[in-house]
Amino acid sequence: MTSPHRLSLAGIGCGARTRTYTKLAMETPERYKINAAADPVRERTEAVRSYAPADEQVSVRLFENAEALLAEPKLADVAIIGTQDNYHYIPCQKALRLGYDILLEKPIAQTLREALQLRDLAEELNRRVLVCHVLRYTPFYNTIRDIITSGELGDIITFNANEGVGAWHFAHSFTRGHWGNSNTSTPMIVAKCCHDMDILYWLFGRKCESIASFGELTFFRKETLRSPRPERCVDWTTPVGEDPWDARKYATDAEARRWLRMVYDRADEATEEEIYEWLRTSPWGRDYLQCDNNQPDHQVGIMRFEGGMTGTFTMTAFEQGRHIEIYGTKGKLRAGVFYKNNGPGEITVQDHFGGPVRVIEVPEADGGYAGHGGGDWGLVNELYDDMVNVPTPADMKTSITQSAHSHVMAFAMEHARLTGQVINVADFERLVLEGTLQY
């Protein structure tokens, strides 16, 4: 591909996600350029600057926060909004008005109403907004989508989809971490599973019409504690790791240290003593049964889509990885981590009459990147096309117009869980937009 134009980037909120994207972008400096970065933590903006080619680093402008960067006239083609969930709407809206196109981390905004308003503003201003639904860019889901569109399965009648968040990940992110409390982030089904809602909509190309849901917080809560114990794991007297969710493992266990890297800037060089000290005050040092979390650790949804297709979705803390079964008039597809680990393969297709099981190999993630199954790399790769090569926002592989439906589905599923009702998705969207329902 020829690259007549280097797409310039301004990182707003230079935490784990923005650093991942800017680092990947700068592996193809003939296509991308970093012009600016904003974050209250100086090391993070400096890290973003360090990804630029050495002779360009001096011209990367660093700002203390989003407000300072957005007080300037437009500094780059694309603003990456990588701040936390409760601070997407304001910087995104400002950046759109300043003329930026946007790479916007999910969730689009903290409330559905704001998400829909951003969608409408982008449409009104004719700006390009790519929401980071990274699964769309994975070889795994692209392979499944190709099989569906090839007609090999016939008409799709029903599916079961599962998102196994993972027991440590759930405690790290959705109990102790940024997304443990829905009041300061978004409901679990939005924060984690807007990815799943988006991929279902994208795989089948049909909108969801109605939803019911159940789910609750059963295990990661105070009631699970059998006897009192200190609120900080560093004060426990049990052997380290006896309890599988012991936060002291951040200092002692290689896998836990990988998670630490996402929340502690000095994770790589820190000694065990330093990490223990950090655990005394950090949210990640808390007993996972004595936090202020309220996210359900399991939730199921049942859905009806256009044309009568039905499906179930399960989110649980107590499984690792996604898997899906899709049933069509000609055949069935089974795919995901469970099938990869238990055979015969990561994706299989079989007809209904005992025909051979076809095992489909998933191509290696381009560039060998494992992040989100290759999705991080795929998204950065596609960003250039979506921002530079396609003629209009409507031609993007992923535009906010499409991505917003995942948020309508996810918030509708939360409304169904909280009310016990079956939710008509189109009505729900209308009621939220007009302000009758508060989501």
Name the site residues for ligand NAD (rule: CB under 6 A).
12-17, 38-41, 44, 65-66, 82-85, 87, 105-106, 132, 134, 178, 262, 372
Taking a C-beta distance cutoff of 8 angstroms, is the pair 287, 232 a contact?
Answer: yes
Token pair of 269 as six digits: 């060089």
Confirm if 190 and 131 have CB atoms less than 8 A apart. no
53 preceded by a cis bond (ω within 30 of 0):
no
In the complex with ligand NAD, the residue whose CB is nearer, 17 or 304, is 17
For the CB of residue 266, give the shortest distance to ligand NAD in the complex, in Å.
14
Please choose, from the candidates 7, 17, 171, the residue with its C-alpha nearest in 3D space to the C-alpha of residue 100: 7
Contact 333, 349 (CB under 8 A): yes
Answer yes or no: are the C-beta atoms of 105 and 132 closer than 8 Å: yes
Nearer to ligand NAD, 13 or 215 (CB): 13
Q: How far is the CB of 265 from ligand NAD (least distance, A)?
A: 9
- Cβ-based nearer residue to ligand NAD, 95 or 347: 95
Between CA 280 and CA 21 the distance in angstroms is 31
**Side-chain half-sphere exposure of 109, counting CA atoms within 13 A:** 19
C-beta of 218: minimal distance to ligand NAD in Å?
A: 24
Q: Of 180 and 331, which has the nearer Cβ to ligand NAD?
A: 180
**CB of residue 228 vs ligand NAD: minimum separation in angstroms?**
32
DSSP letter string, 398-414: S-HHHHHHHHHHHHHHH
Read off the tokens for 294: 């309220």
Q: Contact at 8 Å (CB) between 192 and 174?
A: yes
Q: With respect to ligand NAD, which residue has the nearer C-beta, 26 or 190?
A: 190
- The answer to whether 304 and 200 have CB atoms below 8 angstroms apart is no
Residue nearest ligand NAD, CB atom distance: 15
* Nearest-angstrom CA–CA distance, 83 and 14: 7
Q: Which residues pair with 310 in a beta bridge?
A: 158, 304
To ligand NAD, the closest distance from the beta carbon of 366 in angstroms equals 17
Contact present, 124 and 290 (Cβ < 8 Å): no
Q: Decide whether 84 or 117 has the Cβ nearer to ligand NAD.
A: 84
Q: Roughly what angle, to the nearest 10 degrees, separates helices 400-419 and 112-125?
A: 160
Q: Is 359 left (phi over 0), alpha (psi -120 to 50) or beta?
A: beta
Name which of 153 and 193 has its Cβ closer to ligand NAD.
Answer: 193
- State the DSSP H helix or E strand holding residue 191, giving kind and residue range, or none if neither: helix 188-191
Name the minimum Å distance from CB 173 to ligand NAD.
8
The structure tokens 């991929």 sit at 199
- Tell the smallest beta-carbon distance from residue 285 to ligand NAD (Å): 17
Dihedrals φ, ψ of 288, to 5°?
-70, -10
Shortest separation between residue 131's beta carbon and ligand NAD, angstroms: 9
Q: Which is nearer to ligand NAD, 12 or 116 (CB)?
A: 12
Task: Decide whether 132 or 256 has the Cβ nearer to ligand NAD.
Answer: 132
> CB of 226: closest distance to ligand NAD in angstroms?
33
Backbone angles phi and psi of 176, in degrees to 5: -85, -30
**Which CB sits closer to ligand NAD, 210 or 381?**
381
